[in-house]
Structure 1
Amino acid sequence: MLRTKFYLTDAQSASPTAIYAACYLDGKRKKLYTPLSVLPSQWDSKAQLFRRSFANYSNANRLLRFLVTELDDYFLATVSKGKLVLIEDLRTIIARILTGAEPPEVTFTDHLSNWIEDSKRDVKPSTIKSYITFRNHILAFGKAKRYALDFSTLDLAFSEAFKNYLLQTARLTNTSVNNVIKNLKVFLNATHNKGLHEFQHHTRFKKLEGHTPELMCLSKEEKAAIIGLNLDYFPRLEKTRDVFLFGCETGLRFSDIIALSPHQVHKDYILLTTQKTNDFLKVPLSSLAHSILKKYAGKQVKALPAKTNQKTNADLKQIAKLARLEALVSVATVRGTDRQKLMVPKWNLLCTHTARRTFVTLALEAGMRPEVVMRITGHKNYRTLHQYTKITDSVVQDEFLKLLS
């Protein structure tokens, strides 16, 4: 049974107040407002009925009992099919019985927006941003191709047409296309689990052939060049440089650096719970990291003067250019079966995440055991850690000479 009860919105009101239904789903109380209203003096809260003083009370009470029966019948029929009872459908039943009107139809676009809004409870803002990007792409596809977007039409033929559109019209790379398809499958799986549709074509959607990008990091000499820059006349860049170097010294993600509070800083280490993975880390502080923290202590609410990721990345490219990081780096892009490689100066690729890669690579090159690096950075396994390593040519030469000696 659904266990439906009726209550007044304001039991102390001197004027008619709205009646709402309280339904219990999975042990949680859900409010469903009705178009009915009554004076509190004309309502029997214990019996859950209109009093005789209410005009046409007999028919009004019969309507309430009929509504409870209809809600219970829907609940039992839905549960018997192994589906979830949706609060939206309960509202539809109430509207149909009490007003004779059907609520506005929920469109495919509405479902997309509702899913994104509901997801804000459980996922990070960066993930929400990627969901919005996916929504914009699929709606643009529907408009450009005059495709009737609905759960029933998102089949295998649609997935291929959508991927072609993303490659040819939106000009996305394979990696970006795969991210959109991944979010499409998350959306369809979530809405299927909620009982909004019965289609499972999405389980057979395939990604495009991807590629593993070569991750860039700094060498000891390049890092030293950034440390040695005189930025006394560029306070904005000086702050960005210091925050970046703090990441190079600790291996922390940028999101954890900008969230770092003074109370998390101790004499020789910092204690924090990571934003992305919720891991508890104790990170030792090098003399450089300690001096950076000391330099900015008490000058802002957080431990360091960090900006947004976008503004920091823009500053870092200026800093790297000033440090003359001109070495060319190969950048590969894959769009469909078309593969291209470009040689780009290193300064043009420097970003906040380069600091974490630099820490891991230089720590391993210096002889730190992988399991120690993992303990500091919070990596779960060596395979994940290995993606961040970049053994330089000089290290290869040194190791080879050691072998020969």
Structure 2
Amino acid sequence: MSSTKLVIRSDRKAFGKTTIYVQYTHKSAKKKFSTGYSIAPNCWNGTAGKATGTSKEIVEFNARLQIIKGRIDKIVQDAILVGEEPSFALVEERLKGLSNSSSKLPELLKQEKSSNQDFLELFAENINVTSASKSHGTIKHYKSTLNHLKAYASKRSIKLTLSYLDTNFYHDFVQFLTKELEMTNGTVNNQLKRVKVVMSYALDKGLTDNIAFRKFKLLKHTEADVIYLTQSELQILFEADLSSEPRMAKVRDLFVLGCTTGLRHSDFSIIRPENIENDQLVLRTIKTGDWLRLDLNQYSRTILQRYPNGLPKLSQQKFNEYVKELGQHCGIDKSILVVHYQGTKRIMERVPKYSLLSSHTGRRTFVTQSLERGMPIEVLQKFTTHKDLKTLMRYAKVADEQKKLQMEKAWG
């Protein structure tokens, strides 16, 4: 196994300054490559492998060190990909070829700074290398952001390089998303978050020292109303006679299952008969990888009994399309006020409730109704696998009738 880290000489701590090295470990052996930079030992965090401090100068200094370290990482990774042994000799030879020096690397910084690495190519690379650790839905969102970046670059007739992503890009990209693509601020923020993730990826790999992306501020927005089904609405769906609408009946069953288990679409889509053990659903969640033992109830038990050979399959896109149709068919049409921002413009509109239904509505319904029905929050947290209560409570919304009931109970 090969690895790199930034270190200083432990036997030089009595000196005023000591050289910073990239220590390359391969097959338990170690070799140090000088970065050409030095530092006072008391200003060095050996555990983190960086200079201590948060000033602009220190941040930039650490970024330069990461660029140098990242060059060696890339040499090693490229060698492994083509089946070469990433030996000390190979790394040193490749470094000489890049810097035209012995084993010192300061010139590599200048070389990287002047490069015009394509940010779109790096974005696509990030999608590929993280595809195994991210859910299908998350990867789909990243691909969507990549398409928006491509559209922006095409519209502006520019090449998006790592150095191009500065505050001027930020303001113009936000303008493009809000004015030309007419995105709400919440959606724009999602694009900005993914851009920042990939720029952090580039910084960690030592491909850039551009840290302007850290100043990309999220826009003011109002979170979408936490839509959920009331107990009466859930009962209407559960009892609806859809015998003449087999497609809609399958969507209803999947939706009710989500509402009464709290499972995400990605999780109830993989349920097989063998996942049912002792009146529990036992599965590893797709998004977090957590093992979940979910006790069945009268609703989920009935739904699962209808499909002894496994639940029907439906993509999330189709599910979200059909569940709105289901809500309209069953009269889930209460008028809902929706408020959102587009740039500085505040937009208010009333829409029928069925138009806001999605697979995530099921999870919100489960959280809200579980609390309404008296389930202790610490037990609910076990079922939803949320790591903290703050995140869990974002899914909860107290119904008006429940508020009235609690007020009367408390005050009479």
TM-score range, shorter chain: 0.7 to 0.9
Listed as ranges, the matches of 1:67-216 within 5 Å are 70-71=93-94, 73-74=96-97, 81=105, 107-216=118-227
1:208–1:336 CA contact under 8 A, matched in 2: yes
Deviation at 1:162, TM superposition (A): 1.2
Secondary structure at 1:341 match in 2 = strand
Q: Could you report, residue by residue, the CA deviation over 1:281-338 in whole angstroms, capped at 9, with x for unpaired residues?
A: 111101221121111012xxxx311311121122212221122112111111211111
Residues 373, 82 of structure 1: alpha-carbon distance in 2 compared, 3 angstrom cutoff: farther
Deviation at 1:107, TM superposition (A): 4.2
1:2–1:25 CA contact under 8 A, matched in 2: no
Are residue 308 (structure 1) and residue 319 (structure 2) matched?
no
Are residue 385 (structure 1) and residue 385 (structure 2) matched?
no
Separation of aligned partners in 1, 2:365 and 2:124: 39
Match for residue 401 of structure 1 among 389, 408, 412: 408
Deviation at 1:109, TM superposition (A): 3.9
2:267–2:286 CA contact under 8 A, matched in 1: yes
Secondary structure at 1:259 match in 2 = coil
Q: Could you report, residue by residue, the CA deviation over 1:148-190 in whole angstroms, capped at 9, with x for unpaired residues?
A: 4222222111111111111111111111111111111111121
Separation of aligned partners in 1, 2:148 and 2:78: 38
1:2–1:75 CA contact under 8 A, matched in 2: no
Residues 356, 110 of structure 1: alpha-carbon distance in 2 compared, 3 angstrom cutoff: closer
1:240–1:306 CA contact under 8 A, matched in 2: no
Q: Could you report, residue by residue, the CA deviation over 1:119-173 in whole angstroms, capped at 9, with x for unpaired residues?
A: 3243222222222222222222222223342222221111111111111111111
Match for residue 240 of structure 1 among 230, 242, 251: 251
The one-letter amino acid of 1:291's match is T
Match for residue 345 of structure 2 among 338, 341, 347: 338
Structure 2 match to 1:267: 278
Q: Could you report, residue by residue, the CA deviation over 1:238-290 in whole angstroms, capped at 9, with x for unpaired residues?
A: 11111111111111111110111221102321111111111111111012211
Structure 1 match to 2:82: 31
Q: More deviation in 373-382 or 115-124?
A: 115-124
Separation of aligned partners in 1, 2:217 and 2:297: 46
Q: Could you report, residue by residue, the CA deviation over 1:350-396 in whole angstroms, capped at 9, with x for unpaired residues?
A: 21111111111111111111111111111222211211112111111
1:244–1:355 CA contact under 8 A, matched in 2: yes
Residues 168, 370 of structure 1: alpha-carbon distance in 2 compared, 3 angstrom cutoff: same
The one-letter amino acid of 2:219's match is L
Deviation at 1:26, TM superposition (A): 8.0
Separation of aligned partners in 2, 1:359 and 1:280: 19
Deviation at 1:234, TM superposition (A): 0.9
Q: Could you report, residue by residue, the CA deviation over 1:68-118 in whole angstroms, capped at 9, with x for unpaired residues?
A: 973263589798559999xxx9xxxxxxxxxxxxxxx96444333333333
Residues 322, 118 of structure 1: alpha-carbon distance in 2 compared, 3 angstrom cutoff: same
Residues 155, 265 of structure 1: alpha-carbon distance in 2 compared, 3 angstrom cutoff: same
Deviation at 1:233, TM superposition (A): 0.9
| Larger CA Rg, structure 1 vs 2 | 1
Secondary structure at 1:288 match in 2 = helix
Structure 2 match to 1:251: 262
Matched residue count: 332
Secondary structure at 1:296 match in 2 = coil
Residues 396, 111 of structure 1: alpha-carbon distance in 2 compared, 3 angstrom cutoff: closer
Are residue 229 (structure 1) and residue 240 (structure 2) matched?
yes
Structure 1 match to 2:328: 321
Which of 1 and 2 has higher RCO (CA within 8 Å, sep 6+)? 2
Give RMSD over aligned pairs. Answer: 3.1
Separation of aligned partners in 1, 2:411 and 2:118: 70
Structure 2 match to 1:101: none
Separation of aligned partners in 2, 1:355 and 1:72: 55
Deviation at 1:30, TM superposition (A): 4.6
Between the aligned residues of both structures, percent identity stands at 30
Q: TM-score, normalised by structure 1?
A: 0.74
Residues 312, 108 of structure 1: alpha-carbon distance in 2 compared, 3 angstrom cutoff: closer
Separation of aligned partners in 1, 2:303 and 2:102: 61
1:83–1:195 CA contact under 8 A, matched in 2: no
Separation of aligned partners in 1, 2:381 and 2:82: 48
Separation of aligned partners in 1, 2:277 and 2:108: 50
Structure 1 match to 2:290: 279
In structure 2, stretches of 5+ residues that fail to align are 1-23, 27-73
2:118–2:162 CA contact under 8 A, matched in 1: no
Secondary structure at 2:347 match in 1 = strand
Separation of aligned partners in 1, 2:255 and 2:108: 48
Residues 116, 252 of structure 1: alpha-carbon distance in 2 compared, 3 angstrom cutoff: closer
Residues 253, 84 of structure 1: alpha-carbon distance in 2 compared, 3 angstrom cutoff: farther
Separation of aligned partners in 1, 2:179 and 2:252: 39
Residues 305, 69 of structure 1: alpha-carbon distance in 2 compared, 3 angstrom cutoff: closer
2:92–2:103 CA contact under 8 A, matched in 1: no
Structure 2 match to 1:350: 357
Secondary structure at 1:281 match in 2 = strand
The one-letter amino acid of 1:128's match is I
Deviation at 1:32, TM superposition (A): 6.3
Deviation at 1:225, TM superposition (A): 0.9
Separation of aligned partners in 1, 2:241 and 2:341: 39
